[in-house]
Structure 1
Amino acid sequence: MGDSLDRVAASLGVPKATTLTTVFTAWTTLVGESLASHARPQSLSNGVLVVAVEEPAWATQLRWLESDLLGRLSDVAGPDAVRRIDVVVRPGSTG
């Protein structure tokens, strides 16, 4: 049954639950405590990780680190689990 659910989820562009758990759990380690306190992963679909930040300055910081972060995400979640990071500014989103 688990394999069937994984296939259905994959056909919808939804990653395996283990991938989501890995990314969300490792977030602070991946980006550091300072950035993690201002930027939180919101969703992962079709290889696109959406991250909400409190202010535009944190969005700039995250975009500057994107290439390195994609490499780290590949190391922990597997190749192609996250191919792109979209950053959205949502005041109060990390508190």
Structure 2
Amino acid sequence: MDDPTVGIPLRQAMERYMRHMKSAPVDTLTGLHQRWSEIVGPQLGDVSRPVSLLDGVLAISCDDPTWAAQLKWMEQPIRTSVEDLFPGVTVKRIQVRQRHQ
């Protein structure tokens, strides 16, 4: 039996998988990580990271409950900033998770 995924470039395989999972494209996720401090500001950028963008839900990991609360308060500006920086991307809501230390 022939496997249609044999011999395709890794990037193409990842993009297929990401689409199947309803995730943002690899370039968008990379850009989110690279521009995170620009999106949320330097202080929040130091204590939080985008984790995933699946089916319009931006998951964010944060070090501290106080900063997590701040991120939740900033949901609309974060959504707007991401959508402005990455045309074609829709963020329906954010989900903040506290990292366990």
The normalised TM-score by structure 2 is 0.76
Aligned residues between the structures: 92
Give the corresponding residue for 2:22: 13
Larger radius of gyration: 2
Give the corresponding residue for 1:46: 55
What's the Cα RMSD here? Answer: 2.1
What letter is aligned with 2:71? L
- Distance in 1 (alpha carbons) for counterparts of 2:51 and 2:61: 6
Instruction: Kindly indicate whether the alpha-carbon contact (under 8 Å) linking 1:35 and 1:58 is maintained by their aligned counterparts in 2.
Output: yes
Deviation at 1:8, TM superposition (A): 5.0
Could you report, residue by residue, the CA deviation over 1:21-67 in whole angstroms, capped at 9, with x for unpaired residues?
A: 11111101111111111111112211211111111111110011110
The normalised TM-score by structure 1 is 0.81
Give the corresponding residue for 2:93: 84
Matched, 1:56 2:65: yes
> Closer, same or farther in 2 for the Cα pair 1:8/1:88, shift >3 Å?
closer
- Distance in 1 (alpha carbons) for counterparts of 2:18 and 2:42: 31
What letter is aligned with 1:46? D
Which blocks of at least 5 consecutive residues in structure 2 are unaligned?
1-7
